[in-house]
Structure 1
Amino acid sequence: MDIIINARFLTQKLTGVQRFAIEIAKQLKVLIPMVRFVAPSNIIHHHLAEEFDVLIIGKRRGVVWEQIDLPIFLKKNGNPFLVNLCNAAPIFYGNQAITLHDVAFLVNPDWFNKNFVRFYKFLIPRIAKKARIVFTVSDFSKSEIVKYIGINPLKIKVIYNGISDLSTPIYTAEAYGNYILTVGSIEKRKNILTLIEAFNEMPNEGIKLVIVGDVSPIFNNQGNEMMKTNGNVVFAGRVDDAHLAGLYTNAQMFIYPSLYEGFGIPPLEAMAYGCPTIVSDIDSLKEVCAEASLYINPQSSKSISEGIMLLKNDEVLRNNFIVKGKRNIARFSWQLSARLIVDSITSLSD
C-alpha cells in the first residue's frame, strides 16, 4: 500500500499533539521504509524535515494547504493512503486515517476561540465519519468520540502515547530552590488559575510553584492579580527538552490539575524522571496513571492544596509513587503504538 504522512505538524509549535505525531512518524519511517512525508513550505522543525526527507508540496499554508493543496497532490498521485496524526485532515478525501486526540471542543466549547469551535464542529465529525480508520489516544477518548460524534466504535483504534527518549537533564533550578512543577499549555482546561489559588492558600514554607508552558489570554487581570499576591509563583515559559528534564528531575513533585484530557503526556514524563505525581481525578488520567499518582479533585482548590501538603510531608508516600511511576511507564511505548498503527492499516487490505 502506498502511504503518505501528512507532516503539517512540522510547521507547528510543539505540544502533546505534535509530540505524538513526531514520535509516531519516526517509528513509521522505520517500520515502513517506503512511506513518504509531505508538508507545506513553512516548516519550523528543519532537522526533522531532513530526517523524514519531507517533500514540500503546494503554495498554500496551514488549513488551506491541508484542504486544497494536499488532496490535489494525492489525487494526482493515485489516491494513496493518507495518515493524519494531528486531529485535522482533508475533508474531501476518503482513503485516509485520522487521529483525533480528544473532543474537548465539543464537550466544553467555551474553553476555545469561537471561530476554532465553529470550524472543528464542521470539520471533525465529517472527516471522522468518512475516514477508513480513526485513531485516538485512550479508551476514554474513544468513548467520547462515540458519544459526541456517533461513529462506529469498531472503526476506532486506541493508540497510546509513549515515553520519548530521556534527555540529559540540565540543572537550571538553582533559583527556584524547593519547587512544585506543572507543565502544559496555559489555557482554561489546564486549570492553572485554580492551581495558583490552591498554592496561595497553602502555608508559605519556602516552596515555589514553577509553571512551564506558553501563557495564553486566559491570564487576564484575574491571573495577573494572583501572580502579584505570591512571588513564589514562577512562569518559566516554554523550555527545551534538556531544561525540562532538569526541572522534572529536581522538582519535589509534579502536579497536573487538568479539567479534561484525552491522554496527558506530562505526568508520564515526570514519572520517567523519578518525580512523584499528583493528577486530576478524571477518567483519562486514571487510565494513564493507574495507581502511580495521587489523585485530587481539580474543581476544588482545597483538594489540590491538601494533596500537595500530603505528598510534601509524607516521604514514604512520595517514594511509593516514584517506584509505582517507574513501573507504570513500562506500559507505554512509541514502538508498540506505531506497530498497532501499521497493523490497523495493513488489515484494511486483508
Structure 2
Amino acid sequence: MKIFINGRFLSQSLTGVQRYAAEMVRAMDRLLISSEAPRALVDAEWQLLLPPDANVTIDLKRIESVKIGRRSGHAWDQIDLAQHARNGHLISLANSGPVFHPRHLVVIHDAQVFQRPEFFSWTYLTAHRSLGYLLARTATIATVSDFSRHELASVLRLTPTSIPVFSNSAEHFAATVPDLSVIERLKLRPYNFFLSVGSMTRNKNIALAVQAAKQLNRPDMPLVVVGGGNNKVFQGESTSADDSVIMAGRLTDEEIAALYSRAAAFVFPSLYEGFGVPPLEAMTFGCPVIATTADAVRETCGDAASYFDPHNADALRQRMMERIVAGRISDDERRRQQARLTTFSWRRSASAMLQFLDKKTDRAGTTIEVEDHNSA
C-alpha cells in the first residue's frame, strides 16, 4: 500500500494551518517508527510529496520527502500531485488538494469562506468555495474542532458524523526557549503589559483590542501587538499605535514565547476561528487568557479563560481592568490551564487520524460513520 501526504504547505508562509500540517506529519512519523500505528500502515510505503518551490524541510525518519512536478500552487495540487499520487491514498492537511483523487482525506480547518465572506477578497472566496464544494463530493472531509465539523457539515451538505475531528495542540510551543531580550528591546516591564498575536485582518479583530487598550488608557500597561497583514487575501483593517499600544510587528517564536511568559494577560479578540491555538500557546507559559466568545475558542479554552463579546471594546476593557486588579495568575487558574492543555495532543490526533485511515483502507469505497475524535 502507498500513502502520500500533500506537502504543498511547506511552500507557504507559516500560519496556524501550516503549523498544524507540519506537526501532524511529525507525529505520524514518530508513530510509524514506534510501530504504534495500525500494522497495515506501518508496512505501507509513505511519501511526503513536495512542490519544486517548497522552501522548508521536516526532519522525518520513516516518511520519505520527495519533490515532484514542475508547477506550483493549486496547479501543482490538481495536476502534478494528483498524477503522482493516483495509485495510492492521499492525505491533505492544509485546506486543499486534488479534487479528482478517489482515495483522499483532506482537513478543512473551518468554514470561514462560507460563513464570513466579508473577510476575503472575491478571487480567494470564489476559488476556495468552489474547491470546498468539489472536495466534499470527491474526498473525505476532516476538521479540527466540533464547531468546525458542524459548520462544514451545514455548508457542504454533509452529515456531521461523516466528518472526523483531529484537533490542534500547542505542545510544539512548550519546547520553545523564550528570548527574554525582546522585553528590554520593546522597553517593557514584566507582567505590566497585555499581549495580542495576530495578523491585521478583519477576522483577527486586532482593531478592537487596540480600541480597548486606548479606552483603558494605561500607558503603564500597554497592549503589545505581534503580527503582520495579508491584504491580498483578506479585506484587512489598519490600526495605529499610541502610548497605550505597541505595534511589535513580526517576531520569532522565541520572542513570542518570552512575551507570553511575561505578559499580564493574553488578549484574543478573533471574530471567527476553526479552533484557536494562540490561547493554548499562552497557557503553555502560564499566561492568563482573555478570549473572544467565538464558539470554537470557547470549545478550546473551556473554563481556563475569561471571555468578552468580540464586538464590544468596552467589555474587553473591563476584562483587562479586572486582570490588572487580580494581578499574577492564581494557582487555581493555572490548574485549569493545565487541564485544558492536556486535552490536546499531536500524538493523539495523529493516532486518531491513522486509525481512521486504517478503517478507510479496509473499507475502500464505503462511507464510515465516525466518532468524535476531538479529544482523541
- TM more than 0.5: yes
Which runs of structure 2 are paired with 1:27-176 in the superposition (5 Å)?
27-32=27-32, 34-46=45-57, 48=59, 53-75=64-86, 79-131=87-139, 133-165=140-172, 166=174, 167-171=176-180, 172-174=182-184, 175-176=187-188
Query: Is residue 349 of structure 1 aligned with residue 358 of structure 2?
Result: no
Question: d(CA) in 2 for partners of 1:151 and 1:99?
Answer: 14
Question: d(CA) in 2 for partners of 1:342 and 1:223?
Answer: 42
Query: Is residue 215 of structure 1 aligned with residue 229 of structure 2?
Result: yes
RMSD value, Cα: 2.0
* Counterpart position of 2:214: 200
Q: Secondary structure at the match of 1:32?
A: helix
Q: Deviations over 1:225-267 (max 9, x none)?
A: x42xx23322222222211111110111001011010000000
Displacement after TM superposition at 1:162 (Å): 1.4
Q: 1:317 to 1:247 in 2, by over 3 A?
A: closer
* Counterpart position of 1:294: 306
Q: Deviations over 1:267-301 (max 9, x none)?
A: 00000110000101121111110000000000001
Query: Is residue 190 of structure 1 aligned with residue 204 of structure 2?
Result: yes
Letter in 2 for 1:288: T
* Counterpart position of 1:338: 350
Question: d(CA) in 2 for partners of 1:108 and 1:223?
Answer: 19
Q: Secondary structure at the match of 1:110?
A: helix
Displacement after TM superposition at 1:51 (Å): 9.1
**Contact 2:264–2:328 (8 Å) recurs in 1:** no
Q: Deviations over 1:158-207 (max 9, x none)?
A: 11111233211110112122211111222101101111111111132511
**Contact 1:10–1:48 (8 Å) recurs in 2:** no
Q: 1:159 to 1:219 in 2, by over 3 A?
A: closer
Displacement after TM superposition at 1:130 (Å): 1.3
TM-score (norm 1): 0.92
Question: d(CA) in 2 for partners of 1:157 and 1:297?
Answer: 29
Percent identical across equivalent pairs? Answer: 31
Displacement after TM superposition at 1:48 (Å): 4.7
Where structure 1 has 5 or more consecutive residues not aligned to the other structure, the ranges are none
**Contact 1:102–1:136 (8 Å) recurs in 2:** yes
Displacement after TM superposition at 1:319 (Å): 4.9
* Counterpart position of 2:247: 235
Where structure 2 has 5 or more consecutive residues not aligned to the other structure, the ranges are 34-44, 363-376
**Contact 2:217–2:244 (8 Å) recurs in 1:** no
Question: d(CA) in 2 for partners of 1:316 and 1:252?
Answer: 7
Q: Secondary structure at the match of 2:95?
A: coil
How many residue pairs were aligned? 342
